[in-house]
Amino acid sequence: MALFENPAAPGSLEPLEAELEALADPAKIAPKPQPAASAGSPQPIIVFDNVSISFNGRSVLQNVSFSVSRGETLCILGRSGVGKSVSLRLLMGFLKPDSGSIQVEGQEITALSEEGLRAVRKRITMVFQNGALFDSMSVRENVAFPLREKGGLADDQVDQIVGRLIGLVGAEDVVDVFPGSLSTGRKRAVAMARALAAQPEIVLYDEPTTMVDPITARRLGSLIQRLKLQLGFTSIVVTHDTRFAQNLADSVLFLDQGRAEFFGPLSGFLESADPPIQQFLTLDAYVLPLD
């Protein structure tokens, strides 16, 4: 689903403005209804089936399987180096698995050419840890880039959309600043605005709360949740932070030593007696003493 419709004429931005206003104030709109399930289980929008990949002889993912339904948020949890971010890069087609199948809406993507992957990437966008912003462009220009690449909008329409998106992520005071001058949290917020400008159906978030302050982390988490509830976005969030995941996840994939140790609902993960999961949850909950 597109974030906003292509306006029919300059100044015709009512649908966009209504949806962005609703994002800023969740009380203004009810959750977007999801399609009713047909007889039997609905087809997932994303499927990993026994996916494996190794680098320099070291296995990173071993026969990992999971699926994500439309409008759902999957959180991928695990320690550093267990293949969480690699999973996102496989889904984007930046990496090819050694074996296994990856499907997006029933289409196998592992054998697609670069041209075929470009079509897939029009529906999937990724928010990288470092933001991956263009250093030579201002915040305003970065957010406008996907709109100008797609074309079909007048300059004043682009300006209005960019202004709304920048306001949505709280970056109004840095619109003319270049990324090199921004904090990590601000870069990530701007990257989210640019991702929304691409009008994706699926958004991938790579460690969105790493190296950001708690207030920024809560703001980013709230935005991810509202995008799901109000616009029906499908999301995959890679994180090491269980508390952050608890506010977002419909389902959890827990990776341990390259294997899918758990895949299922959040409640099942939190209640699991599996030793690696219990150890992860205990360490994640530990707070260092102040003195």
Q: What is the pLDDT of residue 4?
A: 53
Residue 238 near residue 87 (C-beta atoms within 8 A): yes
Confidence grade of residue 131 (pLDDT, cut at 50, 70, 90): low
193 located within any domain? yes
What's the CATH code of the domain at 146?
3.40.50.300
106 located within any domain? no
pLDDT tens for 234-267 read 999 999 888 889 888 999 999 998 899 999 999 9
Asked whether residue 204 carries a pLDDT value surpassing 90, the answer given is yes
Q: What is the pLDDT of residue 42?
A: 65
Q: What is the pLDDT of residue 285?
A: 67
40 located within any domain? no
45 located within any domain? no
291 located within any domain? no
Domain with 179 in it:
14-25+70-95+115-285
Average model confidence (pLDDT) across the chain: 82
54 located within any domain? no
pLDDT tens for 93-108 read 999 999 999 999 999 9
Residue 5 near residue 13 (C-beta atoms within 8 A): no
How far apart are alpha carbons 76 and 207 in whole angstroms?
10
30 located within any domain? no
Q: What is the pLDDT of residue 286?
A: 55
Q: Round the CA-based radius of gyration of the chain to a whole number and report it.
A: 19
The tally of domains found in the chain comes to 1
109 located within any domain? no
Of the candidate ranges 40-44, 168-172, 279-283, the one whose mean pLDDT is the lowest: 40-44
